[in-house]
Chains A and B, each alone.
Chain A
């Protein structure tokens, strides 16, 4: 008789549903309940780093923006350090910057935005540098298990070319789905990042 491993199984994921806002962003659902609300604004006035806006839409297989999506963002600070005890890089934590936020798409336009700072280079596996990037997690009605992806920055050509994660993607054309495009609009630095759930431009999603 072979002995059995007594590991547990991860709880099955279920869709966040159309009313995800109630729990995770009640203001978007149309009411005020918590004193402290999580938001899409990550940087305070004291946060170190270049102020940026990340703006995009999540687009379904018909080309229609998904208007009930919730996106979470997790990133390192301007020095490339995560505000978490597992990050043992010899870099300073920025106490004004948790590095996390959540955003809802607009119910009309489908656009989501994050107000944050551009992250620095983070040390990757085996000491290889990872180009500046933010980690994104996408949930909505019709998405049975949250989708993980990353956004890299269009003005980091050299770092992107050496990035160990981008280089895992065999198809160069698909790597481009992970590059946020820098724009200047009324003095703001905006990275535009549309996430395609399906179709010829389908975004690369990761099994992390």
Chain B
């Protein structure tokens, strides 16, 4: 009895409701200096939902779904040679707002090559495609919430917003955690890049502290000497709240209700 009760409480604690999203850290949907948002942003207020099972659950991914090179962008598209550019390791932790690690989170990344060109049929930038670089990878966090992958540092590139806008070097991130409400797409920038201050997409973020949180920092301790530099980038997703009082996400078990 006591054991079953304890097990139930553990389930409650591991999978409670999530803290409400603090939208002040996020860019507003309508941000006219990033022109594409103008026609793609809702005008009505969002309808606020309390968490139900639909929000606190999410797909579970397993290690056997990923290939052995999925997290090695230097080798996962190499066709008899190595990609051109600065070899880097990127690592960090996926944490929740309450500083708890998020294990088994699916981290998916994609990026341009060293010249700022994407391997995508819609990208027509003049910089060449690198025959040995695909530009995407994925990894599951370990029990401590840690992830690591290896890649080539991406180049900056121009984009048509104003005619002389340039994206700073960046790596796109997609995070899938234990709850549907933790789903997040963001971008990692690189410490010291002067283009960060000029980027209309970065500038949609309302605060300097939230921008700083998206900048990966040089981490020489994680470098491989004579081989690859390293950057550290931690990601924070929505926090799972402790349920000190009765949770209403699910009703009472059917037997008790009758």
Interface residues of A (CB under 8 A from B): 6-24, 26, 29-31, 33-36, 60-62, 64, 66, 68, 72, 74, 76, 82-90, 98-100, 107, 122-128, 130, 133, 135, 137, 139-148, 150, 165, 168-169, 174, 197-198, 202-208
Contact = CB atoms under 8 A, between A and B. Distances in A.
Given A16-B185, A33-B136, A66 B49 contact: no
B175 to A, nearest CB: 8
Contact of A84 (B22, B58, B118, B257): B58
Contact of B29 (A12, A23, A143): A143
Given A18-B122, A22-B118, A145 B180 contact: no
Interface of B (DSSP majority class): loop
A135 B54 CA distance: 7
A16 B172 contact: yes
A18 B172 CA distance: 11
A10 B250 contact: no
A74 B54 contact: yes
B248 to A, nearest CB: 5
Contacts of A197: 39-42
Which residue, A20, A90, A208, has most C-beta atoms of chain B within 10 A? A208
B236 A11 contact: yes
Contacts of B15: 85-86
Contacts of A98: 59-60
Contacts of A86: 11, 14-15, 53, 56-57, 178-179
A144 B251 contact: no
Contacts of A22: 110, 118-120, 134-136
Interface of B: 11, 14-15, 21-23, 25-29, 31, 34, 36-44, 46-60, 65-67, 70, 76-77, 95-99, 108-110, 118-123, 134-136, 138, 172, 174, 178-181, 183-187, 201-202, 204-205, 209-211, 213-214, 235-239, 248-254, 257
B184 A74 contact: no
B183 A72 contact: yes
A144 B48 contact: no
Contacts of B109: 23
Contacts of A31: 77, 119, 134
Nearest to A133: B54
B98 A11 contact: no
B59 A7 contact: no
B162 to A, nearest CB: 15
Contacts of A34: 67, 70, 138
B31 A10 contact: no
Contact of A144 (B26, B96, B180, B238): B26
B105 to A, nearest CB: 12
Given A10-B237, A14-B187, A16-B172, A145 B26 contact: yes
B161 to A, nearest CB: 11
A60 B39 CA distance: 6
A165 B248 CA distance: 15
A29 B251 CA distance: 44
